[in-house]
Amino acid sequence: MYRHAVGEMDKRAIFQGKWAKFDRYEIIGDHIVPAKTGILEEYDPWRIYYDKRFNSKGQHPPYKELSTIGGMVWDHCRRDCDQHRKIEADVIEFCNKYGLLGLLLQRVHHVVQLSPAERPLVEISKYLQDQGMSEVEANARAKLEAQKERPAYIRYRRDGSGDWIKQRIFRLDGVDEAQKLEAWTESSVILQSSIDSHDLVGESIETTWGRYFPGIERSANNFCVYPLPLSKEFWTVYGEPLVDFLAAAVAVYKWSEGLLYDDGRKDKSTVDQKFAARINALLSINAVTSSITPVLKSSRNGLKQIWRSSSLLGMLTMMLATDVSGGYRLIRCDNCNYIFASKANHARHCSDSCRHSYHNKNRLHTAK
């Protein structure tokens, strides 16, 4: 049976994607950051999802853990200090298992940053050749340009396969591209206005990019070059503001709430409120999953199309979308009040422990 399940899992696993994480995280100040002794490793979150769906009875997919954290924040955080500490502990436990959500990578499409005046001959020559100059002309021009004290620009952008590309752009006489970039000093990052929005806005690199790197300080000459996304150097210094992580968890919880299965139980929400919540959930989920890209890759059996995400949040949201479109219903647990997915017709509890706890409480109440 296990072999059959693994075969089915491989057959249906059209969503794939490596994600980097450290084995240990901690909260320092306002940020979730890798522990100093943490070890960086790669894994595929979708393998965990498919394994829990095909091979592990009663196990919930990763997005349920994030949704539960969001539910705790929504219900208790402001009025219960002890609950706040539990939330932080659950956040660390989640990150130790799955890593940070990649909220910066979910939103950002393009970033330009000023770099120190490094002007290597080979790079300048190649850059000029890319602009249409012959190799001989480019080499001669590069020797002259390398002597000038002018800063360069570093541009990061996502390509069609979801990877990030680094490009150094030099400020050269007669070349327009770098001159255009000089106008970007106040809006050098192009990003979505929020994690669940299609709208693009421009912001300064310090406003958006800088707040996700709490350990990086600007140098004396005011230069600060952030590492290429998804690189080892990137993950080593990347940290997520706790408030942003919790806001994303609440968002996943509210999307799940908007898609709850109507099983006839009493609910304070009106029909109009339920409809509005459902529409908002669908719009938000579609916006987040729009970052997932189809990629054609070679396999032992020929060419195969897979889908890759730019962030862990995108993967978790797509797991939620895969469940609700694949026969799973989102149900609120009678005991803990948090949301889980099930195909069972009469499911009322997210786990055996919640079912036992619920029935024990009912027996005690009846005995009184």
Dump pLDDT digits (tens) for 141-169.
766 666 565 567 788 888 877 788 888 77
Is residue 193 located within the same domain as residue 311? no
Owning domain of residue 220: 104-116+151-235
**pLDDT cut 70: percent of the chain above it:** 76
pTM for the whole structure: 0.81
What's the rounded Cα separation, in Å, for the pair 119 and 22?
Answer: 35
Q: Confirm whether 144 is domain-assigned.
A: no
Nearest to 100 by CA among 313, 262, 349: 313
Band of pLDDT at residue 183, cut at 50, 70 and 90? very low
Q: How do beta strands 108-115 and 40-43 pair?
A: unpaired
Q: How high is the pLDDT of residue 188?
A: 79
Band of pLDDT at residue 37, cut at 50, 70 and 90? very high
- Over residues 285-292, the mean pLDDT reads 90
Is residue 75 located within the same domain as residue 110? no
Q: Between 44 and 140, where is the model more confident?
A: 44
Q: How many domains does the chain have?
A: 2
Is residue 21 located within the same domain as residue 67? yes
- Over residues 113-129, the mean pLDDT reads 65
Sign of CA dihedral 165, 170, 172, 176: positive
Q: Between 187 and 16, where is the model more confident?
A: 16
- Looking at 77-226, list the stretches that DSSP marks H as alpha helix, in order from N- to C-terminal side: 81-98, 103-107, 121-130, 135-145, 176-181, 205-208
Q: Between 208 and 61, where is the model more confident?
A: 61
Band of pLDDT at residue 284, cut at 50, 70 and 90? very high
Q: Between 66 and 197, where is the model more confident?
A: 66
Nearest to 177 by CA among 237, 228, 127: 127
Dump pLDDT digits (tens) for 70-118.
998 988 765 655 678 889 999 999 999 999 999 999 999 888 887 665 5
Dump pLDDT digits (tens) for 201-236.
888 887 888 889 988 775 544 456 788 999 999 999
Q: Confirm whether 140 is domain-assigned.
A: no
Band of pLDDT at residue 354, cut at 50, 70 and 90? confident
Is residue 275 located within the same domain as residue 209? no
Is residue 192 located within the same domain as residue 275? no
Is residue 223 located within the same domain as residue 260? no
Q: How high is the pLDDT of residue 267?
A: 66
What's the rounded Cα separation, in Å, for the pair 360 and 156?
Answer: 57
- Over residues 36-47, the mean pLDDT reads 93
- Over residues 352-359, the mean pLDDT reads 79
What's the rounded Cα separation, in Å, for the pair 323 and 52?
Answer: 12
Q: How high is the pLDDT of residue 249?
A: 96
- Over residues 337-345, the mean pLDDT reads 84
What's the rounded Cα separation, in Å, for the pair 204 and 273?
Answer: 38
Chain CA centroid to CA 271, Å: 33
Q: Confirm whether 134 is domain-assigned.
A: no
What's the rounded Cα separation, in Å, for the pair 323 and 350?
Answer: 15
Residue 243 clears pLDDT 80, i.e. is over it: yes
Q: How high is the pLDDT of residue 82?
A: 63
- CATH code, 46: 1.10.3300
What's the rounded Cα separation, in Å, for the pair 273 and 283?
Answer: 15
Mean pLDDT across the chain, nearest whole number? 80
Is residue 7 located within the same domain as residue 83? yes
Last residue of a domain, one of 185, 207, 235: 235
Is residue 90 located within the same domain as residue 20? yes
Is residue 71 located within the same domain as residue 7? yes
Q: How high is the pLDDT of residue 93?
A: 96
Band of pLDDT at residue 360, cut at 50, 70 and 90? confident
